[in-house]
Amino acid sequence: MTPPSTASPPGTWAPGLCWRCETDDVPVIWLGPAHSEHHGHAPFVACERCVTRLEELIAAYAVGRSRTS
Ligand SMILES: [Zn+2]
């Protein structure tokens, strides 16, 4: 899925609002579309600190998934 035209291309950092910690005017990166039941899609972006934490959660999820499969 491609990001909306208002978002930076995937893999690039641009100043904006982090959608996880809500810090504004920090370098954020597009992680994927966020789905809203009522408002459709929105670009989910996060700052470097939050991306690091999300990477940890994704790694833990991947480990758990590989254990159960
Ligand atoms: Zn953040």
Residue 35 counted as domain residue: yes
- For ligand 1, the distance from its centroid to the CA atom of residue 48, given in whole angstroms, is 7
- For ligand 1, the distance from its centroid to the CA atom of residue 69, given in whole angstroms, is 32
- For ligand 1, the distance from its centroid to the CA atom of residue 14, given in whole angstroms, is 13
In angstroms and rounded to an integer, the radius of gyration of the C-alpha atoms of the chain is: 14
The reported pTM is 0.75
pLDDT band at 10, cuts 50/70/90? low
In the chain, the number of structural domains is 1
pLDDT of residue 52 exceeding 90 = yes
Residue 10 counted as domain residue: no
Residue 47 counted as domain residue: yes
Cα separation, 12 vs 9, whole angstroms: 6
pLDDT band at 51, cuts 50/70/90? very high
Query: Which domain does 38 fall in, by range?
Result: 15-68
Q: Is 42 helix (H, G, I), strand (E, B) or coil?
A: strand
Residue 8 counted as domain residue: no
Residue 9 counted as domain residue: no
